[in-house]
Amino acid sequence: MKFILFYIALIIGIPVIAGATAFSKKLKYLALIAMVTSFLFNSQFSINLMSMEQYRGPVRGFEITIADIIAVGLIIGMLLRTGSKIVWKPRFMMTLLAFFLFTVFNVYRSDYQVYGWFAVWQLFRMGLMYWCITNFFATEDYSRTSIRVLMTAYTVTASILTVIALKQKYLDGIYRIFAFFDHSNTVPSFALFFLCAMMVWVLTDTELRRMHFLIPLGATLGMTVAIISTGSRTGILTAAGSLVAALVISNFRLKNTRIKFTTIFLMVCMILGGLMVIDTVIDRFLNAPEESEEARNEFEIAAVMMADDHNFGVGLNQYSQVLTVTEEYRKHITVMKYEEQAGVAHHIYLLTAAEMGYWGMYFFIFIIISFIFSMFLNGISWKSMEQRLLLALVVGFAAVFAIGLYEWVLRQSPVLYQLVVASAFGQSLITKVKNDKKLEKG
């Protein structure tokens, strides 16, 4: 039944979305909100063609999600409605294309190609999403309204995440909530990309009316509670740091009564909230299972061994398969020794080195640093809301990529979607900042 509904969505949904978004700007906004919100329900709103669910690697089939369908419809609608404003080569698009071609070469020369093509297909979809988001802002002339549309999508996402977290925590009695994901640790990475940006937007967009101010403010705080409820140690630390960073970014060089009063209120909430959960947090830090840390270390050792043995890695998304069938890489493993299907290295950078070689890892890190520095350099003037949002996105990137030292969840589609949207949003804000500077110079 699920496959039938998706086929109907592909055949009928795309042209309907394209026609609706080409006809009406409000429907275009609603489509973007629905698309970004759907990331939260990724596993429920997706199908896997040639699915291999028993595989322990990050990508387990040729996935198609409702977000992909909406993105294609949006792209066609934008081409029909505002084709003259389309940016065919968005910022960093050629760099991302080069990385994509590198992954194709990597998989082509690998031994277990089918797993690799799963990941290549995933990256193709992410490239499509990046192009869609950058052109959403381009066709809206990078207006404040377009920013509010994306923030509305984030608000809806945060509100739903808050509700499901409270349900799982207090009604279902789940110790570490997981929302709609496979594991609790996915939640922080999913949310941290936009947590700081949401708070900065709420505080610095002075044109927001009271309800439009209070609802996203409450959603942001609720999402913070959801992150804490996962029990993720890195998630708790980075969420707290993100909120503090948001207050600093919002207050620096600004004198606004609403911002000052809201900041005081938030600081009180953070102190009281911290006191309420401090015992749980301390227990989580002191009594986290040692086996988990030992397993991580064993997988990381195997990743280094693979990277040392293969100049171009063992193949994208193939670490788990190689570890399963190659005894040489399993000899040192004790914690997960009797697992029939081997797991995956949690350290995202060592995992990338194992699968794509050290040069692939360097390329991946280069892209990360390029996005972060481009946003930092264009936001450091602190003059406009857009520049402050750029700094907030830098905080989100730094938080998630720090978590990457301990978790591989960046390879999962919901988190990868958030990375792509945040990246495209950041580059669109840079274009807006540059355009404003040109106007100032006359």
CB count in 10 Å sphere of residue 255? 7
Residues shown for the chain: 442
Give just the sign of the alpha carbon dihedral 270, 271, 273, 274: positive
Q: What is the pLDDT of residue 50?
A: 79
pLDDT of residue 334: 83
Helix ranges (DSSP H) in 113-256: 113-139, 144-166, 186-204, 210-229, 233-251
Half-sphere exposure of 379 (CA within 13 A, CB side): 27
Contact 206, 185 (CB under 8 A): no
Count of CB atoms situated within 10 Å of the CB of 104: 15
The predicted model scores a pTM of 0.94
CB 190 within 8 A of CB 181: yes
The C-alpha angle with vertex 354 and arms to 40 and 331, in degrees rounded to 5, equals: 110
Of 109, 88, 167, 100, nearest in space to 127 by CA: 100
Residue partners of 213: CB distance under 8 A and separation at least 6: 202, 258
- Are 417 and 125 in contact by the 8 Å Cβ rule? The answer is no
Give yes or no for a contact between 422 and 189, defined as CB atoms under 8 angstroms apart: no
Residues 6+ apart with CB under 8 A from 367: 92, 95, 96, 99
Name the helix (H) or strand (E) containing 65.
strand 62-65
Residue 287 pLDDT = 66
Q: Look at residue 257 in the predicted model and tell me its pLDDT.
A: 82
User: What per-residue confidence (pLDDT) applies to 439?
Assistant: 83
How far is it, in rounded angstroms, from Cα 262 to Cα 356?
47
**Strand, helix or coil for residue 63:** strand
Output phi, psi for 205, to 5 deg: -80, 90
Burial class (CB in 10 A: 0-12, 13-18, 19+), 441: exposed
173 Rama class: left (phi>0) / alpha (psi -120 to 50) / beta: left
C-alpha distances out from residue 353 to 37, 88, 356, 413, Å: 32, 32, 5, 20
Read off the pLDDT of residues 134-191 as tens digits, 9 standing for 90 and up.
999 999 999 999 999 999 999 999 999 999 999 999 999 998 999 999 889 999 999 9
Where do runs of H (alpha helix) occur along 340-412?
A: 348-379, 385-403
Token pair for 128: 């499509």
CA distance 97 to 109: 19
CB 327 within 8 Å of CB 315: no
The rounded distance, in Å, linking the Cα atoms of 33 and 150 is 7
Q: Which residues pair with 363 in a beta bridge?
A: none
CB neighbour class for 86 (10 Å; exposed up to 12, middle 13-18, buried from 19):
middle
**Are the C-beta atoms of residues 137 and 86 closer than 8 Å to each other?**
no
Tell me the chain's radius of gyration from C-alpha atoms.
22
Contact between 140 and 146 (Cβ < 8 Å): yes
Segments of the chain scoring below 50 in pLDDT: none
Rounded distance between C-alpha atoms, residue 153 and residue 30, angstroms:
9
Kindly report the number of other CB atoms within 10 A of residue 346's CB atom: 22
- Rounded CA gap, 60 and 50, in Å? 9
∠ CA 355-107-182, nearest 5°, is 60
Structure tokens at 424: 């495209």
* Res 332: pLDDT: 86
Q: If DSSP codes are grouped into helix, strand and coil, which group holds residue 47?
A: strand
User: Which 3 state secondary structure label does DSSP give 64?
Assistant: strand
Residue 12 has a CB neighbour count (10 Å cut-off) of 10
339 is written with which tokens?
């697992």
The end-to-end CA distance of the chain, in Å, is 59
